[in-house]
Amino acid sequence: MHIVMVEPEIPGNTGNVARLCAANHMTLHLVKPLGFSLEDKYLKRAGLDYWPLVDVRVHENVAEVLDAYAGHNMYYLTTKSDQCYADISFAQDDLLFFGKETKGLPEEMLKAHPERCFRIPMVEAARSLNLSNSVAIVAYEALRQLRFPQLTGGIGISNLT
């Protein structure tokens, strides 16, 4: 599974996502421009001592990711969709795209692939959830569907549907 953060702005969110990726054998893709340095102390603190466990790949732009992973399923998480993330049938090497904290994913990306856009349900008055929380929600649904591959306690779990 691949988590793609497009132009993340807040180092703590990215550090939290890096830790989630480390704990779940997920590749973390960071698409520039980043709103912080990869040496940022808040980024490092949020990721704790998990950084050596994270497969982090930095990309110059979204096109670089799309080209490198052509043929993979790509899903775009946004508040601008009526489709629920829980309706995705995930596969092992899918890419989950999340946009920057202040604006989300670029409109042109969403308009080009409306069938691949999904949201996390929430009350209408709520603008959005925290980015790292959103990544965790969707990532764990994908892992649940895949029966938690290569994770402690994941093999043989039969009571999860």
Question: Residue 28 and residue 19: Cα distance in Å, rounded?
Answer: 10
Question: Is 88 annotated in some ligand binding site?
Answer: no
Question: Is 120 annotated in some ligand binding site?
Answer: yes
Question: Is 128 annotated in some ligand binding site?
Answer: yes
**DSSP line for 76-125:** EE-SS-SSBGGG----TT-EEEE-BTTTBS-HHHHHH-GGGEEB----TT
Pairing of strands 95-98, 2-6: parallel
Question: Is 157 annotated in some ligand binding site?
Answer: no
Q: In sequence order, what are the residues at sequence separation of 6 or more whose Cβ sits closer than 8 angstroms to the Cβ of residue 33?
A: 7
CA 120 to chain centroid: 13
End-to-end CA distance of the chain: 19
Binding residues are 77, 99, 120, 128
Binding residues for S-adenosyl-L-methionine are 77, 99, 120, 128
